[in-house]
Structure 1
């Protein structure tokens, strides 16, 4: 976009920000009555004058003149100082009221006509800004006298001395209209009806000489739970070169737009349709956004498949590109809005399916590195303590170490493949899921609490592995046996979901867009990377021989390692409370007490011939599962309870994000989850500290937080837009418009402060 067009966008959008009620279009003057330019030749050059009507003003920095013909060599346009003030969109500016006298100094090589291209732009105090104006003026000049040596000298033809200025036709694409603008309701008619239960029909009727923007239209349906709107089915419009937004699609005549009604219940309903749209007078003013409301009685209809509802939520979350402090749907955003966001972005899909360029090799390498880094992430370390016990038995010989390493690697790789395949399958059916989806399910979280607590009890010596139902604990505690190594790998992958590394995030984004064989290869390489340290120890005899020999110290180590398992159980209980409230935590704690009692009782009778006592112990273990059965029946906490921020931030919503960006605010979007350990580490190290809050204030920024603890299609759509298949995701949106900057998953204070300052300067 050219500089002139970009500046034009700003000024026209200034009027769009003002309330419609403040504009009285019927009282506006035609632009050629509001601003009357004239020109005449003088001894110093060409004098230009604008007569400005009362209640109107011109911008100095939007005024320019160029000259052609008669060999006229023009200098820089000279204008007096204007009235200084701070404009909310341009910053410090100067304006002129009443009249503007300017001088274009120059010298004519020969007598003749000089053609002036005059550009200017102004506004009315009523709150409406006119589009950029361009006029062609012609002035008769005489050749400069031979004795004239001053660069400003100019000979003037007698006719020019009379002050006569000849107006040429308006420049192409920048003409004006003499018609007084109509009131909004007369300029743009609007109707809506419910044709049937699954579709609305909208009718827009611009008056003659007016046009409607297609991509400046937004609509919502309120008052009917379970009903929402799909993508409007606009008919082909007319391509139009617009002074404000560039190449756009507009409608000069009446247009009918079918809009699908997406429903998760079939009953008839009453609702209110709210439509906001914008249009302009041809070669005249642009109106502020207009909002109309229509009460509708929507008949009964059929349920909409889940995939279509997810796509609609993704469209609502599609980003808005901002130009010059005002929201303007970009071409990319408009195209993206037509793509169901349960599928990967087209550009990512194209890269994933490209066979050349080494893209898939980079993805596989990223998966390997990401899996390797997972070994030092905080969410995986407690489970790796189990594997540490197995490594401590390395004195059994290289053959045992090799088998143990391969068994553990098999558990890790198989689990990555299963979790990845399930996630891909669910996304293909339209579910708003990404990496870590298993920890968005309260039942899975509660089951992991049981597992971690049971492993901790085993390590503490409450019960011994290798007998009855407790044999499952043998594998999880990794005290011996290839099955124990295998299930340790499984458990490590299940709890690894809250952690993503930079390499792992890129690889996962690729995998979620790639063909199935390549996607599975990415998940398999993630497993190889995670298992690599133990594979090296098991397969390289020299490393295995460096391990300490078994001894009495192992019992102490085993008991110490029980406490990370207890802490992991506590963390998972906290996540469960975020998902289902304090009642769910109480249920799970009661179940853990019964589980501990059952395991203790089973240990007491393992060497006794007491079938009844053994049966009672097993019954207690079965009884401990009852809370898991009851858990799905508990309702989720109220939205107000889960989203009310206590740190001055705001809950994420696409509409609020767009509103803040329209206001020119820098926005720091923080997408996280209660089960995301990396998110909590970033909060503790950076985001919950005073230095971060000071950086927000310095940049005049707002922090928006999205909680992905539970399944949320809106947040999933935002993650997908930025090629992120999991959390954390941090995006800084600049105050002046444009795309947001995605930050790394592991933050530092300096990194965040620098990003906020860059956004504030743009």
Structure 2
């Protein structure tokens, strides 16, 4: 078991060692390394019946790992436990306690063979490293031995004459690692003054790590870089865990953040790491590129004097969200916030403000106060939400993954609806701000209605909004907060316009008795919102959670009913209101302790549940894949499913193109889906990515789908 454990870890040993050692002389020094069979000369002796003796002569500055030795008998051969001497013990910073051998080592292995056998077939595997510069490790090496065994009482010939007619062979002797410059060819060009295009080209059988790549600008402290990595291949690494790598070629668009006016050229330093598949891992490599900031100009690469010609991006549309200017991002955010007013998750809350504006009548001062306080609530909420998202690296709408938050929102919607139905009337005092969400006349009510609008808007993603949020998530803090403020201004803009432009206020109907009826009618969208949140809760925590929510809802209704009746009563009645409110919190406590509801993982109705392993397997098989990252609380996701993805036309399209529909459910937190969202710089769900059958980069679709858009993407992916 110990050998097996070391076997899995040591296959990537060089990946670990490169965190400690540099590579400035790697290209030159690797040429002086000994071939593996000369660094570790193996001889065998089977002259003693029932025992085979192995001897390694280890060259200077080389060593073998005790835990990397493995022995396997051929047909008819049964091996006993190998007898190995103790090695030199030390604590490896990554592998823990290890034992190594220098200079030489002898091992004995007992064996038995079938009656009448005259030869001993034996497979010997070992691995070692070079301990001075360049500090690298060889891939696991296997030698096949075929030894003459003595007859009863006899002896074999010299062991070196007992090998196969061919010398011992290594699994990979004909696949020696290339020099670093040939294994990882690096190019860089400038598309324009704000965008670079980098490219790594690797021969077959080599791959590049995405997360071990760092890009820095030399001598440009006011500028920063935002790379937009395409989708790669998921790779299980002994040290880095599940990581993303690229085979063959990867083209990387990079956005330059900051003012490049007056800057004629830049010096880019690219540090990266890669491996030979199943073989050598290279130490950290660096390239320095001198790039003239003129569109299409090739860079001068310090270690690659003959860069390849200009290449267009592998998928120009995939990362458009990171290729926008700051002011364009603000414009997109403003438009996205404005369109949010029309989304079904926001409309119920806006009904509260519609009633408030109508009730304000012809008073300009009251209209302005409504607009300003509502806007303040929206902007403060967006600032807080943006700060949390940036600090925690979370996603838009991720707070609805918490069943407790969903339950509280459902109860808030119920309380607001009961108020609009006339069951209870909340006061306007600041001491009662927790209940002022439904108030239409006080400043606190306006402010907290703006807060509520932002909270319930988060499950929705309006057109243009996804691009702006993606830009904010990779931009510096100040710029990111400006984007979130622009979203808030867009959401509050209709009320600001009505509040401050008298001409628009003339479009509002005059107050009258009809307003009370309208207010009661508008309560029903609030009830429906509460019902939708209960449905989301059922998917998150099951029927028990919905039952607890219903109990809390009944207790809340009882609390509000008695609150209204206690207005003309004494202090004892108000104490009872407080006790009922505490009882309302009890079901929420138990709800928060419920385990997550079981999620279906098997394919249903032609839908395959997302996993990185399944996606990698399908891509390796050359199957086009449509990946849909969704959540039950995402209204935009459900709208796309209803209009496009659940229809017969989409199913027929999948069949015609041979594509697989893979869905990731982010209703509850899922680390693998979160990693996928981060890989595509998505601010949240929905996220749609189409992977072509030729293994190229995934193509990211807009958040709002149309049938023609999906058909075009899948048709191209199937070519």
Superposition TM-score, scaled by structure 1 size: 0.56
How far is the alpha carbon of 1:438 from its aligned partner? 1.3
Aligned residue among 182, 185, 189 for 1:239? 182
Checking the alignment, whether the CA contact within 8 Å between 2:459 and 2:634 is kept in structure 1 is yes
Select the residue among 682, 705, 709 that pairs with 1:724: 682
1:209 to 173, 197, 220: 173
| Conservation of the 8 A alpha-carbon contact between 1:424 and 1:512 | yes
Tell whether 2:79 aligns with 1:199: no
Q: Secondary structure at the match of 1:731?
A: strand
| Corresponding position of 1:595 | 556
Tell whether 2:326 aligns with 1:360: yes
Matched, 1:369 2:335: yes
CA distance in 2, matches of 1:213, 1:745: 44
1:700 aligned partner: 658
Task: Quote the Cα distance in structure 1 between the aligned partners of 2:647 and 2:511.
Answer: 45
Structure 1 contact 352–360 (Cα < 8 Å) conserved: no
C-alpha displacement of 1:408: 0.7
1:624 CA displacement: 0.1
Q: Deviations over 1:72-125 (max 9, x none)?
A: xxxxxxxxxxxxxxxxxxxxxxxxxxxxxxxxxxxxxxxxxxxxxxxxxxxxxx
What is residue 437 of structure 1 aligned with on the other side?
398
Q: Contact 2:630–2:665 at 8 Å: present in 1 too?
A: yes
Cα displacement string for residues 32-77 of structure 1 (whole angstroms, at most 9, x for unaligned residues): xxxxxxxxxxxxxxxxxxxxxxxxxxxxxxxxxxxxxxxxxxxxxx
Judged with a 3 Å threshold, the aligned counterparts in structure 2 of structure 1 residues 646 and 320 are, in CA distance, closer, same or farther, namely farther
Q: Work out the CA distance in 1 between the residues paired with 2:568 and 2:94.
A: 68
Aligned partner of 2:647 in structure 1 is 689
Q: Match of 1:556?
A: 517
> What residue ranges of structure 1 are gaps of 5+ in the alignment?
1-188, 215-235, 252-256, 261-290, 295-307, 322-327, 340-346, 428-432
Other-structure match for 2:483: 522
Retained in 1: the 8 A contact 2:359–2:511? yes
Q: 2:461 aligns with which of 480, 491, 500?
A: 500
The SS at the match of 1:588 is helix
- Residue 512 of structure 1 corresponds to 473
Q: Tell me how far 1:632 sits from its aligned partner.
A: 2.4
d(CA) in 2 for partners of 1:353, 1:240: 32
One of 534, 551, 557 as aligned partner of 1:573:
534
In structure 1, what is the equivalent of residue 32 of structure 2?
none
Out of 328, 332, 346, which is 1:380 matched to? 346
Q: Do residues 448 (structure 1) and 409 (structure 2) align?
A: yes
Matches within 5 A, 1:99-114: none
Alignment counterpart, residue 621 of structure 1, candidates 564, 581, 584: 581
Structure-2 change in CA distance of 1:439 and 1:670 (3 Å): same
- Find out whether 1:604 has 2:565 as its counterpart: yes
In 2 relative to 1, CA 399–240 (structure 1 residues): closer, same or farther, beyond 3 Å? Answer: closer
What residue number does 2:595 align with? 635
Structure 1 residues 620 and 685 mapped into 2: Cα distance closer, same or farther (>3 Å)? Answer: same
C-alpha root-mean-square deviation of aligned residues, in Å? 3.9
TM-score (norm 2): 0.60
539, 545, 548: which is aligned to 2:506? 545
Is 2:381 aligned against 1:415? yes
Say which SS state the counterpart of residue 480 (structure 1) adopts: coil
Return the alpha-carbon distance in structure 1 between the equivalents of residues 691 and 237 of structure 2.
31
Alpha-carbon separation, structure 1, partners of 2:639 and 2:529: 15
Match of 1:457 in 2: 418
Does the 8 A contact of 1:476 with 1:484 survive in 2?
yes
Deviations 1:410-464 (A, max 9, x none): 111110010010111112xxxxx21112112222111111111111111111111
Q: Are 2:654 and 2:660, in contact at CA under 8 Å, matched by a contact in 1?
A: yes
Cα deviation 1:303-359 (Å, max 9, x = unaligned): xxxxx9xx855x2xx3766xxxxxx574769969999xxxxxxx99xx9999xx981
Find the aligned partners of 2:658 and 2:502 in 1 and give their Cα distance: 59
Contact 2:321 2:468 in 1 (8 A): no
Q: 1:467 to 1:395 in 2, by over 3 A?
A: closer
Give the SS at the match of 1:498.
Answer: coil
Gaps of 5+ in 2: 1-64, 70-89, 99-126, 128-137, 142-169, 186-199, 213-234, 254-270, 276-283, 285-314
Q: Distance in 1 between matches of 2:623 and 2:404?
A: 40
Measure how far apart 1:734 and its partner are: 1.3
Alpha-carbon contact 2:346-2:457 (below 8 Å) kept: yes
TM-aligned CA deviation for residue 209 of structure 1: 3.2
- For the residue of structure 2 that corresponds to 1:512, the secondary structure is helix
Q: Structure 1 608/688 Cα, relative in aligned 2: closer, same or farther at 3 Å?
A: same
Q: Please report how far the alpha carbon of residue 746 of structure 1 lies from its aligned counterpart in structure 2 after TM superposition.
A: 1.1
Indicate the residue corresponding to 1:87 in structure 2: none
Q: 1:710 Cα shift?
A: 2.0
Query: 2: CA distance between counterparts of 1:724 and 1:389?
Result: 36
Q: Which residue of 2 aligns with 1:400?
A: 366
Give yes or no for the alignment of 1:715 onto 2:673. yes
Judge conservation of contact 1:237–1:250 (CA < 8 Å) in 2. no
1:480 has 2:441 as partner: yes
Shift of 1:704: 0.4
Would the alpha carbon gap of residues 541 and 416 (structure 1) be closer, same or farther in structure 2, given more than 3 Å must change?
Answer: same
SS of 1:635 mapped into structure 2: coil
Q: Are 1:240 and 1:250, in contact at CA under 8 Å, matched by a contact in 2?
A: no
| Distance across 2 between alignment mates of 1:732 and 1:353 | 17
Distance 1:650 1:473 in 2: 44
C-alpha distance in structure 2 between counterparts of 1:516 and 1:711, whole Å: 25
Equivalent position of 1:389 in the other structure:
355
Residue in structure 1 matched with residue 304 of structure 2 by the alignment: none
SS at match of 1:650: strand
2:597 alignment partner, SS class: coil
